[in-house]
Structure 1
C-alpha cells in the first residue's frame, strides 16, 4: 500500500471530540504489542486521542486488531528486525529495500504531522522501542513521548554498581554513565519531548540525573498475564500438603519464530531428558511425576512438535495431570512424566510453572517477572543466540541461569531446589526488575496529561 492513500485516510478519518491526534511509532513485533496494550488503556479514558500508527518493522498486525489505521508503507525485512545481532542481517535488509523503506517512512511521518497542523489538529507522537522511532519522533517537529523497551541499566549495572565484564569492548555500553548514550539522552531532553517511560526504576533513577522527564510507572510487559483460574487456588489452606503431593511443573518456552523455534525445541527436549534422569527425591519432597507445559506460539505448527515427541518415545495420553484453559491442548506421556502442548493457555503456563526452560525473549522476561527462575540455553539465532542470551542474563540477573549445554539442565535444577535462600532471592529479583502489573494504565493516563 502506498503512502498517499494511508495519509489521506489519516487526514480524512471521522472527526471526534478529541483534542489530540496521536501517531504511534514502533520497531518490532514485541514493541507493537506493548504499544497496543497502552493504546487499549488510552481508548478507555475519557476524551481519548484519535490514534494512528506506523510500524517501522513488520506489518503491524497488532494494530490492525484494534482497527488503528496505518499511515505509511510497511514491509517485512529478511532479518525480522534483529539486525543488531549480526551485521550480515543488516546487509540482507539493505538488499531487501531497507533504505528505501526508511526514507518513505520518514516522509510519511513528516507529512502526517504537517497535515495535522494544516487542519488545525493538535498532534503528538508516541515512540516505542529504541533510538530509531525516537529519531523519527524528534525529526517530525511534533511533541513526543518515548517508551524505551530496548535498554535497561540492568544490562550494565545493578543496585550495587557496574557489572564486571570480560570484554573491554563491553565498557562502551556505559562509557558516559548510562546505558543510554549521550545522543539518546539529547533526544530525550529536547523541549518537544514531554515524557520518557523507562523499563524499570533503576533506569529511571539514572536518567533523571540529566533532567530528562522520566517517569517510573512500570513495565507494560507484565500486564494482561492473569491466569484462567483464581490465583488464590495456588495458596489454599492446605497449601503445604498440596505442595508435597503435586508434581514439579516446568514451563517450556521455545520462542515464536519459525524455523528457529523448532531447533530450540529440540534443545529443550534434551534438557527435559536430563531433568527426567535426575531422581526427584534427590532434591524435592514431591511425588516422582513431572509435568512440562509447552507454551507454543500460534505461529508454530503443533504437528511438527508432536512428531518430534512421538519420535522420542512419548505417546499421546487422554488425561492431563493439570488443568489449563485449552480444550485443544495435547498431552503426551513417557514413564512418569507428562508434556502438555498448548497454544491458548500461555498465562496458565506462566503461573503454574515452578521454573522455565527458556529460549525466548519476552516470554522469558514475563516468567521471571512473576518471581520464578528460568534456565536458558543459547541457540543459533537469529534471535536467541549466545549474544542475545548473555545480554538477557545481565538484564535479568540471578533469575536467569545460562547453561552451555542442554544436558546440564538437570544438575542445575537439582542444585537450585536445594537452595531455598537462592530461590527467595530470585523471586525478589524478578519482581524488582520487571515491576508490578498495571503499567499500561498508568502510562496511558500520564500520556494524556503530558501530550494532551
Structure 2
C-alpha cells in the first residue's frame, strides 16, 4: 500500500469545539494511516487545538471579533466584515481549491459553512455534523410543541440545501451527532453513518444510575461550575453563577458543598478569583495533595459550609467528580449531560449564551437541562431535582441517549479509512 503516502486529507472546521472534535478523529486516523498527510483549515479562530496536537495549518487563520457567533447577532456580522471576514473567506476558499487539485480529500466538521466549503472544493468529502440535531425540533415521540409549521414542512433540522450538499456524489460519508438525527436523514439519499458523538470521547464513562439516586443524602454535594470559554462573556456568566452559589449554600446548610469551577485554560484566571473575593469567599491553605482532583495549580476558596476549587487543568476529572452542574456553556454542558447528570442553567447577556441559546439547549438536551430565569431560583430548583430519584434516573438514561457512548472518533476514523481514503 505504498500509494497511501501520496494521499492527503484537509480538515475544515469552524469553532474551537469543532477543532477539538476534528483533532480526536485525526489522531485515530494517524494510528492506522501513519503516512497520510493531514492538514487543517480552521475557519473560525486560530486553530490552537490543531497547533497543540502538531497538526499543520494551511492558509490564513484569524480570530474574528464575534468569536464565530455571527448568526446570533447581526452587529457581530458587521464587526467581522470590518475585521476582514470577506477577504479571509476568499483566501480560505482559494486554499481549499488548490488542495483538491493536488489530489487531496476533505473532512468538514461543524455546520453548513465547512460543508459548503467542502462541496466547493470539487473533490470527495465527508461531513461530521456537530451543530444540528433533530432534538431541536422533535423527540422520539414526535414534534415538539414549539416547532413551527415551516420547520415541520422542511422535514428536518437540516434544511433542504444542507441535505442537498450531503447527498452529492462527492459526499461519501455523513456522521450525524445522535441516533435520532441519523434516522431522519436516512429518508433522503444521504450516506449516513450512525457512530455517535465524538464530543464524549476523552471524558470518561457514563455515570452509573445508582450513583444518582441518593444525591440528597450525600454528606458532601459536588457541584460543577461552567461559565463558558470566551471572554468577556465567561466573566459575566461567572458573576451570575457565583451569585447563585450564595443561595445554594444557605439551602444546603446541613451538607458540605464542594464547588468545582472548570475555567477554560486559555482564559486569564485572576478576574475570576477577584470576583470570588468580592463576594466574601476566602482563599485557603488546603494541601494540594488532599484535593479530589489532580491540579497543582488549582486555587481553593472557602465560605461557610462550602469549598470552591478553581481549576484550569482538570476538566475531565471535574466533570466526573461533580453530581450536578450550574452551567452557562455550550460544549461543556453537553458533555456533562452525556455523563448522565443534571444541569441547572440560566440565560446570560451573550453573545453566545443568550435566552434563545439557553432555550434551544433545553430542547437539544431534554430533561437533563433545567432552565431558570434568575440566579436566585437555582438553589430551590436544585433541591427539587436532587430529591426526585425517578427524575435523576431518567436524566441518566436521557444523557446517554442524547449524547451517545464514548469511542465515536475511532469509529468515524475507521469508516473514513474505508470510504473516503480507499
What TM-score comes out, normalization by structure 2 length?
0.94
Larger mean CA deviation between 239-248 and 56-65 belongs to 239-248
Which residue of 242, 254, 258 corresponds with 1:291? 258
Summarize the Cα distance change of 1:96–1:332 in structure 2 as closer, same or farther, 3 Å threshold: same
Other-structure match for 1:84:
71
Which residue of 51, 56, 60 corresponds with 2:43? 56
Deviations 1:217-249 (CA, angstroms, capped at 9, x unpaired): 01000001139xxx99x999xx99999554011
Other-structure match for 2:251:
278
Look up the SS of the partner of 2:141 in the other structure: coil
Summarize the Cα distance change of 1:31–1:171 in structure 2 as closer, same or farther, 3 Å threshold: farther
CA distance in structure 2 between the partners assigned to 1:288 and 1:54 by the alignment: 49
Other-structure match for 1:176:
154
Deviations 1:109-167 (CA, angstroms, capped at 9, x unpaired): 111211x14xxxxx21101111111111111110100000110000100000011118x
CA distance in structure 2 between the partners assigned to 1:126 and 1:163 by the alignment: 32
CA distance in structure 2 between the partners assigned to 1:44 and 1:205 by the alignment: 30
Which residue of 364, 375, 379 corresponds with 1:406? 375
Once the two structures are superposed, the pairs formed by residues 289-328 of structure 1 within 5 Å of their partners are 289-319=256-286, 322-328=291-297
Which residue of 231, 236, 239 corresponds with 1:263? 236
Unaligned runs of 5+ in 2: none
CA distance in structure 1 between the partners assigned to 2:357 and 2:214 by the alignment: 40
Q: Does 1:199 align with 2:177?
A: yes
Which residue of 416, 419, 436 corresponds with 2:385? 416
Which residue of 201, 204, 214 corresponds with 1:223? 201
Cα pair 2:172 2:420 within 8 Å, conserved: yes
Other-structure match for 1:145:
126
CA distance in structure 1 between the partners assigned to 2:30 and 2:55 by the alignment: 11
CA distance in structure 1 between the partners assigned to 2:67 and 2:98 by the alignment: 27
Other-structure match for 2:191:
213
Q: Does 1:378 align with 2:347?
A: yes
Once the two structures are superposed, the pairs formed by residues 129-140 of structure 1 within 5 Å of their partners are 129-140=110-121
Larger mean CA deviation between 307-316 and 62-71 belongs to 62-71
Matched residue count: 417
Other-structure match for 1:11:
none
CA distance in structure 1 between the partners assigned to 2:351 and 2:276 by the alignment: 24
Deviation (angstroms), 1:179: 0.4
Look up the SS of the partner of 1:416 in the other structure: helix
CA distance in structure 1 between the partners assigned to 2:346 and 2:214 by the alignment: 33
Look up the SS of the partner of 2:260 in the other structure: strand
CA distance in structure 1 between the partners assigned to 2:317 and 2:293 by the alignment: 6
CA distance in structure 2 between the partners assigned to 1:253 and 1:223 by the alignment: 19
Once the two structures are superposed, the pairs formed by residues 355-374 of structure 1 within 5 Å of their partners are 355-374=324-343
CA distance in structure 1 between the partners assigned to 2:196 and 2:171 by the alignment: 19
CA distance in structure 2 between the partners assigned to 1:241 and 1:110 by the alignment: 57
CA distance in structure 2 between the partners assigned to 1:387 and 1:172 by the alignment: 19
Look up the SS of the partner of 2:10 in the other structure: strand
Deviation (angstroms), 1:279: 4.2
Cα pair 1:174 1:181 within 8 Å, conserved: no
CA distance in structure 2 between the partners assigned to 1:81 and 1:240 by the alignment: 39
Deviation (angstroms), 1:17: 4.6
Which residue of 181, 185, 188 corresponds with 2:166? 188
Look up the SS of the partner of 2:138 in the other structure: coil
Larger mean CA deviation between 240-249 and 442-451 belongs to 240-249
Summarize the Cα distance change of 1:69–1:273 in structure 2 as closer, same or farther, 3 Å threshold: same
Cα pair 2:300 2:307 within 8 Å, conserved: yes
Deviation (angstroms), 1:87: 1.1
Cα pair 1:173 1:179 within 8 Å, conserved: yes
Other-structure match for 2:144:
163
Q: Does 1:74 align with 2:48?
A: no
Cα pair 2:215 2:221 within 8 Å, conserved: no
